[in-house]
């Protein structure tokens, strides 16, 4: 099983965290610089410890994440991470210019000599407010944007694109990806529609902000659809994202988490503005199992013990965390475990990453 270190690059200072968009009035640029540097430090450590991937994401207008353009951050990461793949999970393609996305991924693939993983996501419902895009168009824009990006990467002759949402009279990107035919593509596999699209187009899936039972249902649906299209996803085609903390012992890990406030209920990013999410849901953003999708996001607010049981949190000493990771692999057939280390101060977080890298990862890699 492979391991990825995900860092959303949170703003590590005082800020309004219960609304979206968050006001910038208390923003401190020094805190933001320190937060960004800490993320780079963690990525570099993960690379040195043998993590297979480091991962970035795109979120806007909140202290949750300081990488509204993960491509820019990834450019910096290429100068620190010399071996691991650099994954963007992802670019929120329905709100972006697909040709620009294709160019940026190709630049990163060139900078890394072919180590980019191209995640393409729809994002959370609130992202559509950011660039004034109708969330009802999200899925159709997503599907067309992905087709255009792949075409831009692979088409040897200049071409025009006459789409439904995108029109370009001539496209011929430079640079082009190092990986042929193109970098591996991951998309969310949480909703049934997403699993079906990924299966039809031979794409890999990631499952985040979910629970093991929900992820198992989503994975089984994806695999069944893939089989009906004549192919069998490999373990690496399924990525599972989970919050984690590792300490010397189980007791110490749980104590650390309580100290970091991880046992208090949290609200999902998109649900921090309920009226906005309701409006997006009303526009049809969530698709045919809307209630399950919104419940999946709300499930992030449960107590710590329940989150561990539900596979939302890995916590404990190295042996315990190894067992928890193996459970995810066994239940989902997931080949990539993506870890979000619980922020709890620079030293403790770095120590947790190091403990995972030295005491869990070697056994996990052998599996």
Partner 1 sequence: MQTTWREDHVEVGGRRVRCHGAGSGEALVQVGGDLTPAHDLLARGRRVIVLDGPDLHPPAVLGAASALGIDAFDLLATAAGADIAQQTVLTEPGRVRALVLESPAARPMPAVGAPVLVVVGTEAGPTAAETGRAFRRELPNCHLVFVYAAGPAVARQRPEAFVEVVSDFLERHEQFIVSRRDSALLP
Cα(297)–Cα(213) distance, rounded to whole angstroms? 14
Closest to partner 1 by CB, 176 or 329: 176
Distance CA 231, CA 239 (A): 18
Site string for partner 1, 43-72 (x = CB under 8 A): ------------------------------
Closest to 8 (Cα-Cα) out of 287, 339, 289: 339
Q: Of 72-91, which residues contact partner 1 (CB under 8 A)?
A: none
Give the β-pairing of 116-121 and 85-92.
parallel
User: In the complex with partner 1, which residue's Cβ is closer, 160 or 265?
Assistant: 160
Least spacing, CB of residue 144 vs partner 1, in Å? 6
d(CA 367, CA 363): 7
The yes or no reply on residue 200 touching partner 1 (CB under 8 A) is no
For residue 108, the cross-strand partners are: none
**153 phi and psi angles, rounded to 5 deg:** -70, -35
Nearer to partner 1, 158 or 213 (CB): 158
Task: Provide, rounded to whole angstroms, the least separation between the CB of residue 18 and partner 1.
Answer: 32
In whole angstroms, the minimum distance from the beta carbon of 205 to partner 1 comes to: 23
User: CB of 250 within 8 A of CB of 335?
Assistant: no
Q: How far is the CB of 148 from partner 1 (least distance, A)?
A: 8
Query: C-beta of 139: minimal distance to partner 1 in Å?
Result: 14
Task: Select 22 or 145, whichever has its Cβ closest to partner 1.
Answer: 145
Least separation in angstroms between residue 157's CB and partner 1 is 4
Residue written as token pair 């953003």: 285
The HSE-up count of residue 171 (CA atoms within 13 Å, CB side) is 23
Binding string, residues 126-145; x marks residues near partner 1 by CB under 8 A:
------------------x-
**Residue whose C-alpha is closest to residue 90's, from 204, 211, 200:** 204
User: What does the DSSP 8-state code read for residue 135?
Assistant: G
Assigned token pair, 12: 């590590």
Give the position of tokens 């969310």: 188
Of the pair 115, 141, the CB lying nearest partner 1 is at 141
- Nearest residue (CB) to partner 1, 110 versus 130: 130
Structure tokens that stand for 7 in this block:
């860092």
Q: What are phi and psi of 119, to 5 degrees?
A: -80, 135
Count of residues interacting with partner 1 (CB under 8 A):
17
Q: C-beta of 324: minimal distance to partner 1 in Å?
A: 44
Asked whether the beta carbons of 57 and 186 are under 8 A apart, the reply is no
Distance of CA 29 to the CA centre of its chain: 25
Angle at 53 between CA 47 and CA 57, to 5 degrees: 115
Site string for partner 1, 146-185 (x = CB under 8 A): -xx--x---xxxxxxxxxx-x--xx---------------
Nearer to partner 1 by Cβ, of 61 and 159: the residue is 159
The least distance separating partner 1 from the CB of residue 287, rounded to whole angstroms, comes to 19
Q: Smaller CB distance to partner 1: residue 148 or 364?
A: 148
**Shortest spacing between CB 145 and partner 1, in angstroms:** 10
Tokens of 267: 């609200």
Shorter beta-carbon distance to partner 1: residue 18 or 162:
162
d(CA 79, CA 292): 41
Nearest-angstrom CA–CA distance, 140 and 145: 8
Interacting residues toward partner 1 by CB under 8 A: 144, 147-148, 151, 155-164, 166, 169-170
């Amino acid at each position: 099983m492979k391991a990825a270190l995900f860092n959303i690059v949170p703003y590590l200072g005082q800020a309004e965290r219960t609304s979206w968009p968050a006001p910038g009035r208390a923003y401190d640029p020094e805190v933001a610089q320190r937060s960004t540097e800490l993320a780079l430090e963690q990525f570099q450590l993960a690379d040195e410890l043998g993590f297979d991937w480091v991962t970035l994401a795109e979120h806007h207008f909140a202290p949750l994440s300081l990488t509204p353009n993960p491509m820019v951050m990834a450019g910096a990461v290429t100068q620190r991470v010399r071996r691991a793949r650099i994954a963007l999970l992802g670019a929120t393609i329905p709100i972006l210019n697909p040709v620009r996305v294709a160019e940026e991924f190709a630049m990163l693939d060139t900078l890394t000599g072919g180590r980019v993983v191209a995640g393409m996501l729809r994002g959370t419902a609130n992202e559509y407010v950011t660039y004034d895009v109708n969330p009802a168009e999200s899925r159709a824009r997503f599907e067309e944007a992905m087709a255009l990006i792949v075409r831009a990467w692979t088409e040897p002759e200049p071409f025009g694109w006459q789409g439904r949402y995108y029109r370009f009279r001539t496209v011929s990107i430079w640079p082009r990806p190092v990986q042929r035919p193109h970098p591996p593509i991951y998309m969310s596999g949480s909703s049934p529609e997403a699993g079906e699209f990924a299966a039809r187009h031979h794409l890999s899936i990631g499952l985040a902000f979910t629970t093991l039972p929900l992820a198992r249902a989503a994975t089984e649906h994806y695999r069944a659809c893939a089989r009906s299209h004549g192919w069998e996803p490999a373990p690496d085609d399924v990525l599972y994202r989970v919050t984690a903390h590792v300490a010397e012992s189980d007791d110490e890990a749980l104590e650390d988490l309580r100290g970091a406030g991880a046992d208090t209920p949290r609200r999902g990013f998109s649900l921090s503005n309920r009226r906005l999410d309701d409006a997006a849901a009303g526009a049809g953003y969530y698709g045919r199992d809307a209630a399950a999708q919104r419940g999946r996001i709300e499930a992030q607010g449960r107590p710590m013990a329940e989150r561990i049981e539900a596979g939302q949190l890995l916590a404990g000493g190295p042996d315990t965390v190894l067992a928890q990771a193996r459970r995810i692999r066994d239940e989902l057939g997931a080949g990539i475990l993506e870890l979000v280390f619980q922020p709890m101060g620079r030293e403790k977080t770095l120590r947790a990453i190091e403990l995972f890298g030295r005491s869990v990862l070697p056994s996990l890699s052998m599996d």
